[in-house]
Amino acid sequence: MRSDTRKVIENVCNARIITIEALGGGCISEVRRITLSNDKQIVAKIGDAGENNGFVIEAYMLDYLTKHSTLPSPKVIYAKDNLLLMEHIPTKGGASAKTQEHAAELLAELHSITSDKYGFEKDTLIGGIHQPNNKMDSWIDFFAEHRLLYMAKETFDAGKLSVSEMKRIEKFAGKLRKWLDEPEKPSLIHGDMWSGNVLYKNDRIAGFVDPALYYADSEMEFTFSTVYSTFGRPFFKRYSEIRPIRAGFFEARRDIYNLFPLLIHARLFGCNYAARVANSLSHFGF
């Protein structure tokens, strides 16, 4: 850690840094657990200022969750383009049946927060990639334009998607109404529900981190859970007891919505994920 960064942290926290430990999950930035001289622990995310280190946006989303929901998430201490300081949330254990049931209850409550439009009040980030959130009345149009086509174009421009694959996605996006319907209301979703963003402690959820907030079809939350195996049967059983899952999700919509996280990973990590995108398109006849 650079000396100027240490100085900022010590000034903000009014305490000396005693120890610094690396934490997992920082594919975009460094993540460190810091023990201070006042016996408190905080988490620091550190990176060069730029488009891939939108710590101010991340802090905004965490504050939004605190103000508008009861979803457990870390409180923000300080946020600038190259440094984000948050409270440290102690963890222990993993995704047991009980923690999955608790996650279902928390996310069902989050999804009960609704809006009159799909999108969000500002653009956000997911995996360090710009995420447009222009508000729209139609979920299908929003998903096609601001999720599927936008991320496909990002992936294509990065050289991770071929011309033919891009054309297949464009054709598929024009036919989404064959498989998708309009939800009753837009729901607030965490937006990046893979296992690395879920913190557990003693058969309970301790917190959710790294949000990519917007108002969506609540089923978009499940796709991140299924493509990355975050949650399984106990989660879906408990969730459906609170908010019944519409017929057709597991048969078709899950695989359509999964194209979005697969494209994100293709954009970030390359051809293996692009091949999975191509296989999904073939499944739907494109």
> 164-184 pLDDT, tens per residue?
999 999 999 999 999 999 999
> Do the domains at 3-87 and 97-283 have one common CATH topology?
no
State residue 52's pLDDT score: 54
Q: Which residues pair with 118 in a beta bridge?
A: 136
| CATH hierarchy code of domain 97-283 | 3.90.1200.10
Cβ(233)–Cβ(205) below 8 Å: no
Strands (E), the chain: 17-22, 30-36, 41-46, 76-80, 83-87, 124-126, 129-131, 187-189, 198-201, 204-208, 214-216
Which of the residues 157, 192, 203, 217 is marked catalytic?
A: 192
Residue 185 is predicted with a pLDDT of 96
pLDDT tens string 250-285: 999 999 999 999 999 999 887 788 899 999 999 999
Per-residue burial over 209-237, b if 16 or more Cβ lie within 10 Å, else e, is bbbbbbbbbbbbbbbbbbbbebbeebbbe
The pLDDT-based confidence of 51 (bands split at 50, 70, 90) is low
Q: How many CB atoms lie within 10 A of CB 135?
A: 16
pLDDT tens track for 102-117: 999 999 999 999 999 9
Residue 141 is among the residues annotated as catalytic for this protein: no
Q: What is the mean predicted confidence (pLDDT) over 62-68? A: 96
C-alpha–C-alpha distance, residues 237 and 251, integer Å: 16
Average pLDDT across the chain, whole number: 93
Q: Which of 103, 73, 131 is nearest to 261 (CA)?
A: 131
| Residue range 13-44, pLDDT digits in tens | 999 999 999 987 555 678 999 999 999 999 99
**67 to 73, 99, 185, 241: CA distances (angstroms):** 11, 24, 21, 27
Each domain of the chain, given as residue ranges in start order, spans: 3-87, 97-283
Architecture category of domain 3-87 in CATH: 2-Layer Sandwich (3.30)
